[in-house]
Structures are given as C-alpha cells and as structure tokens.
A and B are shown apart, each in its own frame.
Chain A
C-alpha cells in the first residue's frame, strides 16, 4: 500500500510530462490566405494568420475596446490632429531587430507609400510621422480622425522589421518578419502555412504552443471531418448546419460570437441610370415595402439555421454605436402592400443579383418567397462573384446580396458604403447632408458626439435604404476539447495568446 502510493505521483509526473514534447496547433482555415505582407494583404482569412505572426500597435478585446499591444500607451493632442504613441520597450522582430519609434515611422510610411498598398486609404489622414524620442512616435493628421486607433488595431498597425522589409522589397510577403508570438517557417501555397514560436516574444508568458500549422480546407464538410478524425485541433467558420451534430459530441467544443460585419442587400438607388427606371431604385416607398415584407428571423433560420443575430444597421444591436431609435422593424405585409399601392406599382419586378455561395443563394430564395407575399416579383440572378462585383460597380443591378466582414470602428462599416463616390458605394447613394454627418462622425473624438452623429445618420439612411441590412452571422469555431484559452473576439480572428493544448 505504501509502495503503491509512492509510485502514484511518479506515474502522474510521467503522464504529465508526455504532452510537453513539441506541440503543434493544427488550424483549419476556410480559404487560402493571400500574400502575407500586412501592407499588401487584402483578405479576411489572411488576418487570422497575422494574429499569430504580426503584432499590432493596438488590439481589440471581446467588447471591441481598443487595448494597447505594441504601443505601451498613447495620447491625443487637444485638437485631435496628433496621436503620440509610446512604444513598448523590449520588443524585437523575428530577425532580432529592435522595435522603436523609428521602426514605427518606417512602417506607417511603408503602409502609406508602398506601391499597391491596401493600407493607404486607412491611413490617408496621417500626413507625417515624427520620431519624438527613440521610443516615442507621433502621427500627425491632416484632420482629426477618431477611427485611427481601430485602424492601428488591424493591419495598418502591424509592424514589420524595417531591415527585412527593405531587403526584401515587394517580395517581403514570401518570408514575412514581424514581431508577433510566432515566426514564419514555410508556406506551401494552398496547402499549409507553418509558424513556430518566437522565443524572444515580449509577452512569451502567454504562449504555450510551440508550432501552428494553418491548413486551408475550403469544403466545410471536409474541414469538420478533419477535426473529427483528429487531423485538426480547431476549425473556423463551421457550417451552421453542423452545429447540432457537434454539440452532442463531448470530444469537441463550440465557440461563437456575433460578427462585427453584416449581411445585407444593396439596392441600386443611383449608381447608374438604371436606378431611375426601376420602381425599387426610384421610389423610397417601394424600398420600404421591400424591407417590411422581410421576416429577418425567418431569414436567419433558413440561411444560418439560427446562427446569427438579426439586425437592421451596419453595426449589430449590441454595439454601442447602434442607433436605438431605429429598432429592427417587424414584418408587416399589409403595410407593404399598402405602400406598393400608394406608389402605383402593386407588383414591382426586382432583379436580385446574388453570388454563387450557398449562403447567398439561400438568402435570395427565402427573400424571394417572403416579398412575393407583398406583391414583389423577384428574379434571382446567380452570378459568379468576380462578375457580380463588376456588374455592381457599373450599376447594372437592381438589388445585390452582399456581405461585409466588418471593422472594429463603425466608420469602417459605413463610410465607404454611404459617402458619395466611395469605392464600396455600389448603391450609388449620395447625399451632402449625410456626407457632412459622416465626416463629423469620424472627426469627433468624444464618444457621445460620435454616437449622436451616427443616430442622425441612421435616421436618414435607414429610410433611404441604399442597403437593407439583414443580420450579423455568428463566427463559429469548433475545436478539440483539449484546447483551452480560446477568446471569442467579434472580428473573428483567433488570438493565440493564452491558447493551451
């Protein structure tokens, strides 16, 4: 008996020692990321990899608060035209170079000036960067711009090694050198991206896994099969229809959070002359009838098996910037019919262009059936994505099923869509008063003032309906129950800090 009890702790020690070998987190992605250069990158899925590879000046938390990451602290000048950032001391890049104010200046300028940069627009109001002292940088703005912190909490705030970036030029993405918890090992296009733990990471106490392999597996059934058969530890964007089956399986866990993006239907209200010829383009009453004929709960049930939050604005109802004065309207077919009668078009024809993804197809079909009850004759035009983008850009559509992956600051969800002549304004919406309010919402630094501006914008835009917002889907992760420490951040990116296997 005594002998046995002395053996037990030893046995436990042995058992616990086993998983201490090199641990690899195998992460199933829904798509293959594009180039791994924060300046040039343009896809959502690439940001998932960046979360392990490249730290940013700031980050966002579960409640969308901005928290410092590579910045230790920051302060705004009273006129809102200068942001002073204290750089976190002791941070090194994966090539051993030090992060300092000069590196911050280099990176912001690279984002702004590199040919083909996708960050230029995000940092357009940053005119110059000063190195105040070795560890303090100041971003000078041409006009106050409150969404800047949120931009710096995304790719525009990612810092790469100036030495490596200068040496590699535009080929930097083939071998990225950042300052995140994991460094780049190899990438085989469409097969895998391998990262390994960076031993000198500034926050290494929070890193418990040695290696991460990101494997793009496009088919959601196959992605799930890989998780179930043990080839993957975690998958992102699980299909909602697989949720019930996984819930009953104790080997796996499920995490979800409402996205910061949205799903909507963009209506052509002025993108081209076509808008003047269609009932839905020229008459706001027809658009109101269209929205009133929709049952958003039903759409979420059909398209997402309930894995979404209904919404009617560019931010979800639990977002602090949601305009409470404009709640989600209830379905009212009788009123929709009355509006159509008033407008003199009891049976308006609407061509609904939809990308070929199964989500978009389902939405189109259920919308078609719902608005038919009010008298709409919806014709679905399934169009391959690149083609649909082209048609949308030329204004050759009535209505377009389109999603947005979302940005932490509400500005990123509305400005480019509703301000005159902006690149994502497929609706062709343009109102000087709204432009003024949108500018106000991004220049005001006070939260209350910004909120007021958004309330005013909502009161107008939600009646003009350039976009009918439908819902905010849930980001769904399924993972091996051995994995712990997963944080659900609404931007849908998995933070690797704190993850344990």
Chain B
C-alpha cells in the first residue's frame, strides 16, 4: 500500500507542474491584448499602460510565469482585475455552488440512468427497452441551453412553479435553494443519465449472460435477487468509474447551463474571465479544477486498490 501511494504521489507533483505550464502557456495563445480589453470603452492609453505593468505583460513569458508560480506556491492565485477580488476568494465563493449543482446533477443522473439501464437490459427487445433507448437518445441529443430555456418557459413563465433563474444559498433558505437548483440540475443530470443508461444496459447484458448468473438462477433464487445482487453489483464497477469522471467534469463548471440559469458557479466565472481576458481568474480556476481532478483520480485509484484484491496482490509481490 505504501509503495503504491509513494509511486502515485511521485507522479502527481510533476503532473501538476506540467499543468501549470500548460495553463499559463495556453493562456498566452489567446488573441487580443488583455490590458486593452480590461481598459474598457475609453481605451485611455495611460490606463492600458498601467494595466499592462500590473499584469506584468511587459515582461517576457518565463518571467511572468515565475511571478505567477511564485504566487501559487505561496497560496496566492492573484487578483481579478475586473472585479478587484482575490482569485482564491472567488473560488471559495463559487465552489459550494458548483459542488451542490454537480452533486444534485449526479444524483438525478443516477436515479434516472441506472433503473432505466436495468429495465432495458432485462426487458431487451421489448417496448420497455425501446422506450428507455428513445429517452436516452433524446437526453444525449438535446442541447442543454435549449432544454433549459424550454423548462424555464414551462415551469417559470407558464406554470409559475419555479424561479426562472438565480441562486439562493441553502443556508439562507433551503427550499428556495432547491427550487432554484432543480431545473439546472435536471438539465445537467438528464444528459449524463443517458450516458449512464447506455453503459448500465450494456454492462448488465454482459453480466446477465454470465455463468454465475445462470448458476444463481439454477439455484432457484428469486429473479429480483439475481438482477440486483448478482447482476447489478458486478455491473456497477464501470458505471461508478463513469459517474466519477462525469462528476469531475461537472466540477470544472457547466458553462451553458450556468449561463442560462444564471447560476454563479465556476462555469460562468471562467467564461466571463476568458472574454474579459482576466488572466489571473482563468489560471486560478483552471489550476484549481485540474488539481481537484487529479486528487479525485488518486482517490479513485486508492479505492480500486482497496476493493480489488488482484491489484493489491500485484503490488505485494513486486
């Protein structure tokens, strides 16, 4: 276990360093002059010059990178020049929103995707299967922003049941928070549910035709027990991996959905920052989500290691 951990940790640091270079380097490829964009309508030359100095844009690339990396190592991700707020404060402000939205979306995706996948696998070739597949196809092919606007028109404008957009902190008003989050979470979860459904279906089909399932049936076990205990449990491993990956993607921000529902999360933060060439924000948020992603991956690997005896034995022998 220790050998495994050391080996994994040893790869993380260079990966992170590479990520910082990549983030910083790619950012430089953005066309346009950040100082000019931030200078606003009037384009006052002294303001442009001032901003350029402040962002170290007058220095060569390695020097700028060193300035930034030095800050990062001290825990300082810089300051948003547009909003005049430290990037760390912005991340702290948006992170709970993004986490909540991502968690709700995954819960919805699991709640729809897995049962639908099971049903279509068990009832393969029946109308149930076709219906579940049709729903999945719809979920995959419906653009998020379109579905979002349609939901707003139906539930907010026509029926008046839910707020059209915006965000309320759950600590302020849990009911209002859920009312505001349900539509965006559904829009995001809907698309993921479709992917999960397809994977659950194929994993279940494979497992259900295996020998141990046939044995279980031969033993005269209740069909429900066969499906849920012998079938689903074994089919779940790839689904959990997929769910974790989707969660990681959601944490980096759901750009269009956040835009439509005006949810102040990472997606909106980063898109606005790119358009306003607010470099420190783009770099800070991307670095944060990349680190989170890498750490989540590490956790998943550790979980595998604990769950899968074959992996464990492999390391013990080495």
Interface readout for A218-229 with B: 1 if CB under 8 Å, 0 if not? 110110011011
Which secondary structure dominates where chain A touches chain B? Answer: loop
If A228-B157, A231-B165, A386-B277 touch, whether A189 touches B269 (CB-CB below 8 Å) is yes
Q: Establish whether residues B149 and A221, one from each chain, have CB atoms under 8 Å apart when the complex forms.
A: yes
CB distance from A356 to the nearest CB of B (A): 10
Q: Establish whether residues A43 and B54, one from each chain, have CB atoms under 8 Å apart when the complex forms.
A: no
The answer to whether B58 has its CB under 8 Å from any CB of chain A is no
If A117-B47, A170-B84, A217-B262 touch, whether A42 touches B41 (CB-CB below 8 Å) is yes
A32–B156 Cα distance when bound, in Å, is 23
Which residues of A are found within 8 Å of B276, using beta-carbon distances?
386
Interface readout for A117-156 with B: 1 if CB under 8 Å, 0 if not? 1101110000000000000000000000000000000000
CB distance from A151 to the nearest CB of B (A): 12
CB within 8 A of A222: which of B30, B36, B83, B262?
Answer: B262
Q: Establish whether residues A218 and B259, one from each chain, have CB atoms under 8 Å apart when the complex forms.
A: yes
If A35-B82, A116-B47, A221-B149 touch, whether A389 touches B36 (CB-CB below 8 Å) is yes
The answer to whether B153 has its CB under 8 Å from any CB of chain A is yes
Which residues of A are found within 8 Å of B163, using beta-carbon distances?
226, 229, 231
Which residues of B are found within 8 Å of A423, using beta-carbon distances?
42-45, 48
Q: Establish whether residues B84 and A35, one from each chain, have CB atoms under 8 Å apart when the complex forms.
A: yes
A121–B30 Cα distance when bound, in Å, is 29
If A42-B40, A225-B157, A229-B164 touch, whether A390 touches B33 (CB-CB below 8 Å) is yes
A231–B167 Cα distance when bound, in Å, is 12
If A189-B269, A219-B259, A393-B36 touch, whether A229 touches B31 (CB-CB below 8 Å) is no
CB within 8 A of B51: which of A116, A191, A393?
Answer: A116
| B45 nearest in chain A by CB position | A423
Interface readout for B89-122 with A: 1 if CB under 8 Å, 0 if not? 0100100000000000000000000000000000
Which residues of B are found within 8 Å of A222, using beta-carbon distances?
149, 152, 164-165, 260-262
The answer to whether A171 has its CB under 8 Å from any CB of chain B is yes
Q: Establish whether residues A116 and B50, one from each chain, have CB atoms under 8 Å apart when the complex forms.
A: yes
Interface readout for B272-286 with A: 1 if CB under 8 Å, 0 if not? 100111000000000
Give 27 CB contacts A-B under 8 Å.
A34-B82, A37-B84, A42-B38, A42-B40, A43-B41, A115-B50, A118-B47, A122-B42, A174-B85, A189-B269, A190-B264, A191-B167, A216-B262, A217-B166, A221-B149, A222-B149, A225-B152, A225-B165, A226-B166, A229-B160, A231-B163, A384-B275, A386-B34, A386-B276, A387-B31, A390-B32, A390-B33
A266–B303 Cα distance when bound, in Å, is 61
A225–B261 Cα distance when bound, in Å, is 11
Within 8 A of A (CB), among B225-278: 259-262, 264, 268-269, 272, 275-277
The answer to whether B39 has its CB under 8 Å from any CB of chain A is yes
| A173 nearest in chain B by CB position | B84
Which B residues lie at the A interface, using CB under 8 A? 30-34, 36-48, 50-51, 54, 80, 82-85, 90, 93, 149, 152-153, 156-157, 160, 163-167, 259-262, 264, 268-269, 272, 275-277
Which residues of A are found within 8 Å of B39, using beta-carbon distances?
42, 118
Q: Establish whether residues A189 and B164, one from each chain, have CB atoms under 8 Å apart when the complex forms.
A: no
Which residues of B are found within 8 Å of A40, using beta-carbon distances?
84
Which residues of B are found within 8 Å of A115, using beta-carbon distances?
50
The 8 lowest CB-CB distance pairs between A and B, nearest first, are: A42-B40, A386-B32, A191-B264, A229-B156, A423-B43, A387-B31, A226-B164, A225-B164
Q: Establish whether residues A405 and B262, one from each chain, have CB atoms under 8 Å apart when the complex forms.
A: no
Which residues of A are found within 8 Å of B36, using beta-carbon distances?
386, 389-390, 393
| A228 nearest in chain B by CB position | B157
Interface readout for A99-123 with B: 1 if CB under 8 Å, 0 if not? 0000000000000000111101110
Q: 18 more A-B contacts (CB under 8 A) besides A215-B262, A222-B165, A231-B156? A: A35-B82, A116-B54, A118-B39, A120-B44, A121-B46, A170-B84, A189-B264, A190-B269, A215-B166, A218-B259, A219-B149, A222-B262, A225-B149, A226-B165, A229-B156, A386-B275, A390-B32, A404-B41
Q: Establish whether residues A217 and B31, one from each chain, have CB atoms under 8 Å apart when the complex forms.
A: no
Q: Establish whether residues A231 and B42, one from each chain, have CB atoms under 8 Å apart when the complex forms.
A: no
CB distance from B275 to the nearest CB of A (A): 7
CB within 8 A of B85: which of A189, A387, A390?
Answer: A189
Which A residues lie at the B interface, using CB under 8 A? 32, 34-35, 37, 40-44, 115-118, 120-122, 170-171, 173-174, 188-191, 215-219, 221-222, 225-226, 228-231, 384-387, 389-390, 393, 404-405, 416, 423-424
Which residues of B are found within 8 Å of A386, using beta-carbon distances?
30-34, 36-37, 275-277
A37–B40 Cα distance when bound, in Å, is 14
Which residues of B are found within 8 Å of A43, using beta-carbon distances?
40-41
CB distance from B54 to the nearest CB of A (A): 7
Most chain B CB within 10 A, of A118, A229, A424, is at A229
CB within 8 A of A231: which of B31, B37, B85, B164?
Answer: B164
CB distance from B79 to the nearest CB of A (A): 10
Which residues of A are found within 8 Å of B269, using beta-carbon distances?
189-190
Which residues of B are found within 8 Å of A215, using beta-carbon distances?
166, 262
Most chain A CB within 10 A, of B30, B42, B48, is at B42
Which residues of A are found within 8 Å of B48, using beta-carbon distances?
423
Which residues of A are found within 8 Å of B54, using beta-carbon distances?
116
CB distance from A322 to the nearest CB of B (A): 22
| A32 nearest in chain B by CB position | B272
Q: Establish whether residues B42 and A121, one from each chain, have CB atoms under 8 Å apart when the complex forms.
A: yes
A222–B150 Cα distance when bound, in Å, is 10
Q: Establish whether residues A387 and B164, one from each chain, have CB atoms under 8 Å apart when the complex forms.
A: no
A331–B259 Cα distance when bound, in Å, is 41
CB distance from B254 to the nearest CB of A (A): 14
A231–B261 Cα distance when bound, in Å, is 13
Which residues of A are found within 8 Å of B165, using beta-carbon distances?
217, 222, 225-226, 231
A226–B166 Cα distance when bound, in Å, is 9
A314–B93 Cα distance when bound, in Å, is 43
CB distance from B15 to the nearest CB of A (A): 30
| A172 nearest in chain B by CB position | B84
CB distance from A262 to the nearest CB of B (A): 13
Which residues of B are found within 8 Å of A219, using beta-carbon distances?
149, 259-260, 262
